[in-house]
Structure formats: structure tokens, C-alpha cells
Amino acid sequence: MNIIPDLSARSNLNPPRWIHSVFFLFVLCAPLNAIAGLRTIIQLKDFDQTEVKAGGFILPHDAQIHIHARGAADEKRWKKGGGEMFAYGWIINAGTRELVWKMDRDNTRREKEDRVFDDDVAFKKGSYEVYFAAYAFAANSPFTSFTINIDRRKDSHPTDGVKKRGIFSWFQELMGHHDIEKEFKKRSKEWVIELAVDEHDPDVTMFSPPKEFPNTIFHTTRLGEKEHIRQSFSLSRPVSLRIYALGETPEGGDPVDYGWIVDVKTHKRIWDMAGANLTNAGGAEKNVKFDGVVAFPAGEYILYYSTDDSHSYTDWNAAPPADPFNYGVTLIARDEEAKPGFKLTTPKQEQNVIVQLTMIGDGETRNACFALKTPARVHVYAIGERANFRRQMADYGWIINANTREKIWTMEVDNTEPAGGAAKNRMVDEVISLPKGTYPVYYQTDDSHAYNDWNSAPPFDPEHWGITVYGEGDNFNMHNVEKGVNPSTAGTIAQIVRVEDDARMSQTFELEKPTRVRVYAIGEGQNNEMFDYGYIEAGSTGKVIWQMTYSMTFHAGGGRKNRMVNTTILLDKGQYRLHYVSDDSHSFNHWNTDPPDDPTMWGITLYKEE
């Protein structure tokens, strides 16, 4: 149960049994409340187990239709100028999908606890769809009143011999009485909308909503909670498509149920449900609609649609949109001639992929290494998360030169652009030049908002959350790339890396002549003291001849306590022992703050300096 004083937002491709389109045609006998001379064509009633019902009818000519409807609103809030109807009916034009009639404050009268409409309404020739929704219920006590979402998926039947009151259980305890469920069941069975026409007019016919758009080429509708739709398609020639899409965008917030289309080749968004493109879709303010024509060049595309965990076709926690059975997105060709150029496809394999670290989840650090046999231009495409500080990335990637261990490229806030969805989703799409050499690539995420576990709206290209490096240009040749290489550098004398907690590690080495040695070490230190560090002993005496002290280190990226040394020393001919020690926290793969930029080198490495 959701308590929703302001009635604000649920989302399955397979519709549940309690939400369905239904209409009743009475030809031989009229209902009890029918008026003499009228014939009932549609009757929607009994909303105990069903949230939304619908029926469709076709008028071959202009006509007066008698509408009798019984619904409900929170009368206490209604008197104060607030509170919308939570059980009500409406009618849309089946061709335009626009609202033409609705039960509201002004056209209904109070009858006990319900509100009633009973009058004639004039309709033009055309096709229409009738809906009735009962998405919530108002309950009052001497102290307060609430409007609660009625989620019919909740179990209110006995299980294992224990009576579970489902959606009403704790609310009953809060309100101090046990008649709410009984009252809802009684009143919801009485809510109804019925339409009647002149009994001498036999030409009115019925259909089951929703009426399909002419020239529909693809649709994914009646979407439920946590749906993530990804559909590839191709266009053999330039074409303009009508896109009809319904979704949810809370006032002042990011979209939470929405769609977008991406060009496969350029990764650029061709269309999305955002900003000024949207209009209200009827019902709650957060229901939004896009209905427009978009021009597409010939090419390959991916359509995405994503929903959050509430307010959807499976359970509306606020007033549903006027066209609830089309919740999702529909692609429509503007004419029959345009349809053959459209084809649903499966995603093609990307070309010239050098490194791909994508679909990365929360709290991960991944890396891969490649080598270039010749200088090359590479295309870096990365999507990540900007931190709350706005000047720092929380999920991001970077590239290191394996020889110098210097960071040669990083995903900084200033070189990113919006990636769609939540404002914190950022992307980089650029080309850089690299000399011959070996390059480790890294990507890390924090503990929230990552692939398939978004805490805000996902980006427009969620499958590429991470970093991908492609070969760039027509002359690029993958034969000049070695993938998955070991990043160890030629000239390594001794190495202790990937050191974890509480380690005491050592390694002996021998120099046959005086040698200039480059020391590259990463460890942990703060307040002028080192906790994870390396040192070198003379083999003959055990005397420490070099040690990693705080004063010689500088920031190694990530958390401030990550410290690094990259210096050159001269060692005489002889035997030596290399050591590395760590304390009980913050080490390789056991980070208690952000890891350094070169995490796999946590430890110490000695190189022969040429």
C-alpha cells in the first residue's frame, strides 16, 4: 500500500489479469436504471478487482448519448478546493486520442459518498473510447483523512492459515477501525459508467480499445514497472516517422518513464521524451505525452524505453493518463509507401573495438590493456556519473601509459556532456592520438546508480555505461593492435603489486653493476605518516637503503590518502630485498575510499632506467 496525500506514480509487457479492456453490449434488455426509449451500448462496472476498464463505440453520424456514471472523490478535501476524483470515467476520440469528456467537480453532483453524472452529451460522427478508473480510495477518521493507492496485486487472501489484509492492513491499524476494506469493496462494486443511445438507432457498433493507429510499424505499450525496452531497427532511406509516446515526469524532476532513440553509428540521440517536446497526457500532472513527427536519415537505430518502480499500466498510483492502454511508445509511418523502408533488426557487432568495459554495476573497478604497434587515432566513448559535488566524477574511466604509469586521458567533468536521463549522467565522445605503446584502461563505479540499478533516470545509452575504445579512421587496421596484453613493462627488476590488507611481502633481486633504478610505488598515507608503503634493504647487511616516506609522495588519484612515488635512485652492484607492508584496511580490492588512478599497481615496482 502506498499512502499518497498528493497522489503522485507503477510499470509488464504481459498485462496482469486485473487490468483489461472490457465492454458490455446490451441489445435485448436494458439495465435497471435505463431510461425508456434508450438502448445501453456500453456498461463498465464493478472495480473491486479491476483498476481500469474500457469499451469502444463507433457513431456513423452525429448523436446525443446519455451518460450515467457514478464515481467518487475525497469529499473532505473537495470542500477545501482540493482532492481530485479517484474513481471516474472519461471518453477520448479514438482517432485523435484526445479527451472529449470527463467526470469532474463541475459536472457531477454528490449522492451520499459518491459523485454522479446523469445527462445527455452530444458527439460528432466518429470512433470513441470510454474508460473508467478506480485507482485510489479516500478514508477518514475523526483525526485525519487519507487517499490511498489501491494496488490490487497485494495479497488480501489467507495464506498458510493467516489472514493477510494486504493493502488495508496497517492502514486499518493507523485509522483505528476495520471497515475500510469492506467499504471499498461495497462502493467499488457500485461505481459505473454506462452509455445509451436511441433505441431506434441500430447502427452504433462497438470495438475493444485501444484502436490501432493506421500504419503502425512498431509499438511497445501497456508497460509495467522496471521495464527496460531495447529494440533495434533500420531505415533503408530517409523517412519521417510519427512517434506517439506516453510516460511519467514528476514536476520539477527528471523523467522516470520515458523513451529515446539513438543513432547506432554516432551514438547521438535522434529523439527523446524531454522538455518542451512534451505535453500533459491527462490525469495526473506527471503524465506526459509526445506526439510528433521526427525526420530520420537512412541508418541503424536503437529505440529505448525505461520505466521506474511505480505508476504504470500495472498499477497507477495517481490518476492514469487519458490513453492508458497506450502507455509506452508507438512508431507510425506517415503513409503506406514509407513502411517497406523500416525493418526491425538485431544489434550489429561494433567495429574496431579495442577495449570495451561496459554494463558496469555498482562498486566495480574493471581494467583491460592493449598495445599499439604503430601510432594511431582512437575513439573514446564513455558514460558515467557526476558526483554530487558537480566538479567530480563518481563513475568514470581513464587510460594510463604502461611505461611511465602516467595518466594520459581521464573522464573529467569539464570534458563531458549530458548523457540523457538524470542530469548527473555524463558522457565523453572524442578522438585522441596515441603513440606506439601499451595502455591499461580503467573504469570504476561508486556504490549507487550504475547499470541496471539506477537510482535516477538512466542515460540514453545504458548498455555503454563504462568505457569503450575504438580504432578511428578509414585507415585504421586492427592488425596493429594487440588486445588483452599483460601491462608489465620491459626492464622490470622486481615487483610486488595488488597488495591486500595486513601484508608483509618481499622479493630478492641482484644487480650485476651499478644501475639507475626507477621506483614506482603506490600506498596509503596521511598526516605525514605512511600505512601501506615499500622499502629496499641491502641484502648483505639488512640495512634499509630506501623507504617510501610521506614527504616524497604526491596524490595518486582517488581518495586523498592514496599516495604515489615515481622517482629514480642509483643502486650499486649487489643483492637486495624489496619489501612492501600494508595495514588492516584500504588496499587492493578492499578500498574504503576511492581507489587510486592506477589501482592494480598498489605496491612497489622497480624498473631499470635506460
CATH number for the domain spanning 376: value is: 2.60.120.380
Please check whether residues 135 and 261 belong to one and the same domain.
Answer: no
Q: Encode 97-108: b = buried (16+ Cβ within 10 Å), e = exposed.
A: bebbbbbeeeeb
- pTM (2 d.p.): 0.72
Question: Across residues 195-205, what is the average pLDDT?
Answer: 90
Q: How far apart are the first and last CA of the chain?
A: 71
Residue at 1 is within a domain: no
Question: Across residues 587-597, what is the average pLDDT?
Answer: 91
Please check whether residues 324 and 367 belong to one and the same domain.
Answer: no
What's the grid cell of residue 324? 492508458
496 is in which domain, residue-wise?
Answer: 492-608
Rounded to the nearest integer, the mean pLDDT of the chain is: 87
Whether residue 403 contacts residue 489, with contact meaning beta carbons closer than 8 Å, is answered with yes
Residue at 232 is within a domain: yes
Please check whether residues 556 and 501 belong to one and the same domain.
Answer: yes
The CA-based diameter of the chain, rounded to the nearest angstrom, is: 115
For residue 155, give Cα distances in angstroms to 49, 311, 469: 12, 19, 50
Tens-place pLDDT, residues 331-352: 999 988 889 999 999 877 788 9
User: For the purposes of burial, counting CB atoms within 10 Å of the CB of 200, is it exposed (0-12), middle (13-18) or buried (19 or more)?
Assistant: exposed
Q: Indicate whether 506 pLDDT > 60.
A: yes
**The CATH number of the domain where 537 resides is what?**
2.60.120
Tens-place pLDDT, residues 35-56: 678 999 999 999 999 999 999 9
Please check whether residues 81 and 197 belong to one and the same domain.
Answer: yes
Q: How far apart are CA 151 and CA 318, in angstroms?
A: 11
Q: What percent of the chain has pLDDT over 70?
A: 87
Whether residue 88 contacts residue 102, with contact meaning beta carbons closer than 8 Å, is answered with yes
Residue at 6 is within a domain: no
Please check whether residues 200 and 87 belong to one and the same domain.
Answer: yes
Residue pointed to by grid coordinates 454506462: 194
Q: Indicate whether 517 pLDDT > 70.
A: yes
Please check whether residues 432 and 314 belong to one and the same domain.
Answer: no
Whether residue 62 contacts residue 94, with contact meaning beta carbons closer than 8 Å, is answered with no
Please check whether residues 79 and 142 belong to one and the same domain.
Answer: yes
| Strands, E assignment, 1-125 | 2-3, 38-45, 52-59, 63-73, 85-93, 99-102, 109-111, 114-123
**Would you state the pLDDT for residue 412?**
93
Q: Indicate whether 429 pLDDT > 70.
A: yes
Q: How far apart are CA 281 and CA 273, in angstroms?
A: 13
Provide the pLDDT confidence category of residue 457 given band limits of 50, 70 and 90. Answer: confident
Q: How far apart are CA 378 and CA 394, in angstroms?
A: 24
Provide the pLDDT confidence category of residue 490 given band limits of 50, 70 and 90. Answer: low
- Of 456, 483, 510, the position where a domain reaches its end is 483
**Would you state the pLDDT for residue 102?**
98
Provide the pLDDT confidence category of residue 16 given band limits of 50, 70 and 90. Answer: very low
- Of 207, 231, 254, the position where a domain reaches its end is 207
* Lowest-pLDDT range of 237-251, 340-354, 540-554: 340-354
Q: How far apart are CA 17 and CA 1, in angstroms?
A: 19
Please check whether residues 31 and 160 belong to one and the same domain.
Answer: yes
Question: Across residues 224-249, what is the average pLDDT?
Answer: 94
* Structure-model confidence comparison of residues 181 and 137, the more confident one: 137
Residue at 8 is within a domain: no
Please check whether residues 145 and 242 belong to one and the same domain.
Answer: no
Q: Indicate whether 27 pLDDT > 60.
A: no
Please check whether residues 286 and 429 belong to one and the same domain.
Answer: no
Please check whether residues 30 and 159 belong to one and the same domain.
Answer: yes
Residue at 2 is within a domain: no
How many domains does the structure of the chain reveal? 4
Q: How far apart are CA 182 and CA 86, in angstroms?
A: 18
* Lowest-pLDDT range of 137-151, 172-186, 208-222, 351-365: 172-186
Tens-place pLDDT, residues 97-131: 999 999 998 999 999 889 999 999 999 999 999 99
Q: Indicate whether 301 pLDDT > 80.
A: yes
- Of 187, 207, 227, the position where a domain reaches its end is 207
Please check whether residues 176 and 59 belong to one and the same domain.
Answer: yes
**Would you state the pLDDT for residue 149?**
86
**For residues 200, 205, 208 and 210, what is the CA-based torsion angle, rounded to 10 degrees?**
-110
